[in-house]
Amino acid sequence: MIGVAVMGCGVVGCGVVQMLIKNKEEVRRAAGRDVAPLYMLDIRDIAAPEGVKLTRDVNDILADSAVNVVVETIGGVGAAYDFTKRALESGRHVVTSNKELVAARGDELIKLAAGRGVSYLYEASVGGGIPVLHPITRCLRANRLTGVDGIVNGSTNYLLTQMRDQGVSFPAALGEAKRLGYVEADPAADVEGWDARRKLAILANACFGSRFDDDAKIPTAGISGVTEADMEAAAAFGGAVKLITHARLSDSGDSWTGWVHPAFVPAAHPLYGVNDVFNAIIAHGNFVGDVMFYGRGAGREPTASAVVGDIVEIARGVSPAAVPPAGEAPAFSAADAPIRRLARAASDARESLERLGCPVRPCGDGLAFLAPALTRAEFSAACQELNGLSEPLYVLE
């Protein structure tokens, strides 16, 4: 029997316990033995199903030899880090959906797990219910993976979809989403792009073998500055605004670059049709080409599905430990790479824009235009000549 303790019983933690109970038979068949939730740890007053012990003390869990797997769904890097470390040191496998902890301390925790002959698995940390990290690190491993693009934050994708379809402003869409409970009470990590940035660091580790050092180095802009006029500009060019995570490995393979930014996604791009809380990730391999993973990127049941999938992996002995990156890991480079942008300008800029070769469309009482690929410095210099430029969207190609 595999005994499971769930630490942190919010939306995802409770979903894990529910799935282990509801899908008991499916999980038993997949795992080859019974998998039972034994403990739920939380500082709040919560109700536990019959047969599951409630505790506020991690020592109760660590003292019970029937617990083989600890699920960490506390979130953050405080108690979650401390309890994860103690669980691994005590020889328990740990499964998590906590992208913040993986992005911040992943190398250390993977190494610690490997040293103890146990696993630290985190499939649920990117893309909610979408299987993406295991397929990338197993099925695609023989490829040289050179790029990854994605929509990896469900809340912001939902907000952008509402803004486009209902024609509402960002504050109005956010207010309604809060009222419906679709976003966190404090949505800063989602709307400012930090959640997507952490997931990008995890994807870069899976694709390129980069280390988890400091995801704050990745240039990041969220969606709080996206306006109705940006939506209009994107529509004028036949596309939509999405919060995109983007990473590329350098030709030499010794560095990678990336960003999280609101982007213009043309209708022909496979990420254009990814709406609401859905997520999608496209990885590029030198033999396989583009591979797209699509599904529900957030929510109790999809995320629980990924966590319980990892518990089954452990039960089957498929993943004794996540593999720490071998050899020289590519370093993150914040190089100011050229990129195309979609921006807005006043109507009197038309002549200058056409002279620069920019496709131009009417947008509101001004213009929208597609700039050629320019570095940040080059784009700023070009903007000096054109008064009234908006904060541009990046263009996803």
**Do residues 262 and 370 lie in contact, with contact meaning Cβ atoms separated by under 8 Å?**
no
Q: Which residues contact 106 (CB under 8 A, 6 or more apart)?
A: 122, 202, 205, 212
Q: Residue 208 is encoded by which pair of tokens?
A: 């390129």
Nearer to ligand HSE, 246 or 340 (CB): 246
Nearest distance, CB of residue 316 and ligand HSE, angstroms: 25
- In a 3-state reduction of DSSP, which class is residue 268? coil
Q: Residue 103 is encoded by which pair of tokens?
A: 């992005």
Nearer to ligand HSE, 194 or 379 (CB): 194
Told to judge if 217 belongs to the known catalytic residues of this protein, a careful annotator would answer no
Nearest distance, CB of residue 108 and ligand HSE, angstroms: 22
In the set 99, 199, 217, 242, the catalytic residue is 199
Q: Rounded to an integer, what distance in angstroms lies between the CA atom of residue 342 and that of residue 371?
A: 6
First CA to last CA across the chain, in angstroms?
Answer: 49
Q: Rounded to an integer, what distance in angstroms lies between the CA atom of residue 191 and that of residue 187?
A: 6
Neighbours of 165 (CB within 10 A): 13
Q: Which residues contact 184 (CB under 8 A, 6 or more apart)?
A: 155, 190
Nearest distance, CB of residue 182 and ligand HSE, angstroms: 9
Q: Residue 315: name the closest of 118, 73, 99 by CA.
A: 118
Site residues for ligand HSE per CB under 6 A? 128, 153-155, 190, 195, 297-298
Eight-class DSSP state of 255 = E
Nearer to ligand HSE, 208 or 278 (CB): 278
Nearer to ligand HSE, 10 or 324 (CB): 10
Nearer to ligand HSE, 6 or 339 (CB): 6
Nearest distance, CB of residue 7 and ligand HSE, angstroms: 18
Q: Rounded to an integer, what distance in angstroms lies between the CA atom of residue 162 and that of residue 176?
A: 10
So which residues are the catalytic ones? 199
